[in-house]
A and B are shown apart, each in its own frame.
Chain A
Amino acid sequence: MSIEVEHISKSFGHFKALDDVSLRINDGELVALLGPSGSGKTTLLRIIAGLEAPDQHPHASIRFHSEDVSSRGVGERRVGFVFQHYALFRHMTVFENVAFGLRVRPRRDRPAKEEIRDRVERLLSLVQLQQFSKRYPSQLSGGQRQRVALARALAVEPKVLLLDEPFGALDAKVRQGLRAWLRRLHEEIHITSVLVTHDQEEALEVADRVVVMNNAKIEQEGAPHEVFHQAKTEFVMKFLGQVNVFHGRVRQGKAEIGGLAVDYPSYKDEAARPATVYMRPHEFDIRRKSNGKPSFPARVVRTNSAGAFARVTLQRESGETVIVDLSLEEFNQLALAEGELVHLYPKNARVFIPEVAV
């Protein structure tokens, strides 16, 4: 089941949570809505679910598989919604929680008792909680509760699964495990899923496609490697992964920062304009001697090789700090000493010219 969101806006009083957002989610896809808090991602998810109504707009619509569901309430959209704080019914056992959606159906649609039991048990084994069916939510760990919430959402055989910061309240280790588990689960049941998160690692690892949101708008959408390596906006560049930021200017097809010039063919004008240049830590070479290629000098401040790669912190003459990641091999070969002056060769740089308000 595909989801089409068109021209959706939402204001809370004076606060604009969504500003004319349109988005298409394909059948069977797992999409992550990624952004800082207040970017509108949760509001978008809640509007898709029908938990929130969008502002009135002549062209606004929410369609599931081309069918307009805008006027349907949350109970009629057949979505499975997993709440951030689980929202488990605390007075019901795990079994009763999962069975709830089936038991509240009108008698003619309600499955027989045995069937409900079978289905709940199948779901509990899917989320690996068979042995906990008689426990109450308060007797479970956070990760287990989250899995109950997921089983409960799946019990009604939703056509769409919506997850609001599903791992937000869990500690890092549990999160890692659940993330991989969710991905496997998705491979297994292949239900169209939308996941809201502010954790970039989570989004990049789990999702087929990542939608980066900021300030009530979608900044960029694409496969994880696309948004990471081909950031279209400064925000996406800064939000995903670590980055070194340099302030300089552009003119005549070049961006200049300090003594360094980077090609920037799309701006050919004579008149200089301020520009920001971004370089990722792993996109540098470090050399002791200049070899004529564009580079800038910097002094080694600190090195740390406790990890999969080595992190070198350097300082430019102007005082700016630069972070460079080297492979351990390269790092060991160089044998940098703290306080040493070296040359940095950028392998890749992205230049953004701030929009000028006209």
Chain B
Amino acid sequence: MAKPQGIKRNVLPGFGLTMGYTLLYLSLIVLVPLAALFVKSAGMSGEQFWKAVSNPRVVASYRLTFGASLIAALVNVVFGFVVAWTLVRYRFPGRKLVDALVDLPFALPTAVSGIALTTVYSKHGWIGRYLEPLGIKVAFAPLGITIALVFIGLPFVVRTLEPALSDLERDGEEAAASLGASRWQTFWRVIVPTVLPALLTGFALSFARAIGEYGSVVFIAGNMPMKTEITSLLIVEKLGQHDVAGATAIALVMLLASFVLLLVINGIQHYAGRRYQGAV
């Protein structure tokens, strides 16, 4: 990896030094510690590992984590599209403020998001007090977890879609209109297919973030085993009980899930790059 091709001497100096430092720092901070997770898991017997990752409480946590993340990502795709579309296409008073607000979940520490959402959606909270009489329980219920995941996932969809939407060539829409398509037909047949890769990427990013989320969820979740306990919290619980092996096994499952999603995202972008930009 560390040798520039063909040229013995580079015009610009510093390749050896900067590349050496990059690889050293990357290895010390990221690669070696991550390897520890794999090595530790490899030290367990197959049976031990399977027991750790498949007991009912753990499986319930997977179901909750992945289910809520999936629903949250889907909600974000729908609303994220509306938000991105509005920000790109329409001028209205306060647009800049709304635009800046979209990044709030990125900038707000997750613990703050967590207690903020809990405060608002609890029985006496600003929104919770109106939902309580209707029999809708948000805080300390799966619905609350989903709302927290919508909260932290929204910017991924909006910020991925925005460039794609503003890159849309107007002439495609104009051509559709000139061929007699209604605005609605143009939307479904021209606009959506064109930005589909960005939409899928946004969905996957939002989903990936949601399954690993911890801070904004633990406060609102209630954390009841089998009911409102997410996988990340379960890992923390195991660590608290000094069950490092159990925690490691579950963590490996989560890490592999993230890697699969990472591959999916790269795949989408690679496909979109080839399909829409053409081979250069």
Q: List residues of A whose CB falls within 8 A of some B CB.
A: 11-13, 50-53, 55-56, 73-74
Contact = CB atoms under 8 A, between A and B. Distances in A.
B279 interface: no
Nearest to A56: B8
- Main DSSP-derived SS at the A contact region: loop
A51 B9 CA distance: 10
Contacts of B7: 52-53
Contacts, number: 16
Given A50-B11, A56-B8, 14 more contacts: A11-B6, A12-B6, A13-B5, A13-B6, A51-B11, A52-B7, A52-B11, A53-B7, A53-B8, A53-B9, A55-B6, A73-B9, A73-B11, A74-B11
Interface in B5-39: 5-9, 11
Interface of B: 5-9, 11
A68 to B, nearest CB: 15
A51 B10 CA distance: 8
Contacts of A74: 11
A30 B8 CA distance: 31
Nearest to A51: B11
Contacts of B8: 53, 56
B30 to A, nearest CB: 31
A62 B7 CA distance: 16
A73 B7 CA distance: 13
A56 B5 CA distance: 14
Nearest to B6: A12
B5 to A, nearest CB: 7
Contacts of A51: 11
A133 B16 CA distance: 39
A275 B143 CA distance: 84
Contacts of A50: 11
16 contacts: A11-B6, A12-B6, A13-B5, A13-B6, A50-B11, A51-B11, A52-B7, A52-B11, A53-B7, A53-B8, A53-B9, A55-B6, A56-B8, A73-B9, A73-B11, A74-B11
Contacts of B5: 13
Nearest to B10: A53
Contacts of A55: 6
Nearest to A50: B11
A216 B5 CA distance: 20
